[in-house]
A and B are shown apart, each in its own frame.
Chain A
Amino acid sequence: MSLPVVLFLIVAATTSFGALGVVLSRSIVRAAVWLLAALIGVSVAYFLLGAEFLGAAQLIVYVGGTLVLMVFGVMITNQGPFAGIRTKPVEWILGGTLASVLFAALVTFSLRAARPLSPEGETLPGAGPLGAAFLGVPDEQGTAFLLPFEIVSIHLLVVLIAAAYLARAKRRPNSGGGAHG
């Protein structure tokens, strides 16, 4: 076994273990920690694929942003120090069956469809060509992505404003979070 194979196996094992931990852990805080392992594993897989910019973006956005947001959500909404999730056995069976069937189908299709494709030694374009493509500079094939870039930017702006509006602190006459409405 060569070094890339060993590295891939380590990364795949870490990521899979983290994902399994997210599914199986009863405490939501522990699930967040397992999710951290899975997300870091995915970002290292990007580095292994040669997409350094995406790996860095994954680390910054997911691990530094989304996961911290999620941990804050857990902290705000948690009830009690070790509030577990009670999942019925029927739901475990249903979810496990669904996930296994999906996994088997996807693996079957991947193995059937995957062909050895890329010539050896070819690497992914780095951050420079990526940024140029986003800014509408066409490459050799004439593809540019200015419009999706603008749409995503406006979408992010609108969504963040909406999120801040939704999550704002409301002043109610009777404090205490009973059901109203």
Chain B
Amino acid sequence: MGEVGLAPFQILAAFLFACGVACFVTKRNAIGLLMGVELILNAANLNLVAAARFVPGLRIEGQVFAVIVIVLAAAEAAVALAIFLNFYNNHATVDVDQANESKG
């Protein structure tokens, strides 16, 4: 793994992040938004692991933070899906444009 440095992984992570942002902005379906968030979190995670590999001071820290991000992403997906299911029960749709009346 000597010839691929830190920068290619960072560029790949930047591309994933940009795709996640575009997905988050353009999708109407709430689960589509969730997929965008997953892409963004994966981009951050890829950056963390690449930093752990290539920065000497982050050997263990990068992996630890990556594991923590994976756990938090799983928790976020679970609670967001629960909220969307609740919203679907009440409104019979998951279109986020119609979510402005979700209070009460």
Q: List the interface of chain A (C-beta within 8 A of B).
A: 2, 4-5, 8, 12, 15-16, 19-20, 22-23, 28, 31-32, 35, 38-39, 42, 45-46, 48-51, 53-54, 57-58, 61-62, 65-66, 69-70, 72-74, 76-77, 79, 85-87, 91-92, 94-96, 98-100, 102-103, 106-107, 110-111, 114-122, 124-125, 129-130, 133-134, 139, 143, 145, 148, 152, 155-156, 159-160, 162-164, 166-167, 170, 177-181
Contacts and interface: CB of A to CB of B under 8 A. Distances in A.
Contacts of B73: 61-62, 66
6 nearest A-B pairs in the assembled complex, by CB-CB distance: A106-B14, A95-B25, A19-B19, A103-B18, A99-B22, A110-B10
A31 B28 CA distance: 13
Chain B: interface residue count, which band?
A: 35 or more
Nearest to A160: B78
A13 to B, nearest CB: 10
Interface of B: 1-23, 25-32, 34-36, 38-39, 42, 45-46, 49-50, 52-56, 59-61, 63-64, 66-68, 70-79, 81-86, 88-94, 101, 104
Given A73-B85, A99-B25, 17 more contacts: A23-B19, A23-B23, A50-B1, A54-B66, A54-B70, A62-B74, A70-B31, A77-B88, A103-B15, A110-B7, A114-B6, A143-B60, A159-B75, A160-B75, A162-B79, A167-B86, A177-B90
A94 B25 CA distance: 8
Contacts of B92: 177-179
B4 A5 contact: yes
Contacts of B30: 77
11 contacts: A16-B15, A23-B22, A35-B38, A45-B12, A61-B73, A70-B38, A73-B81, A94-B25, A111-B11, A166-B82, A179-B91
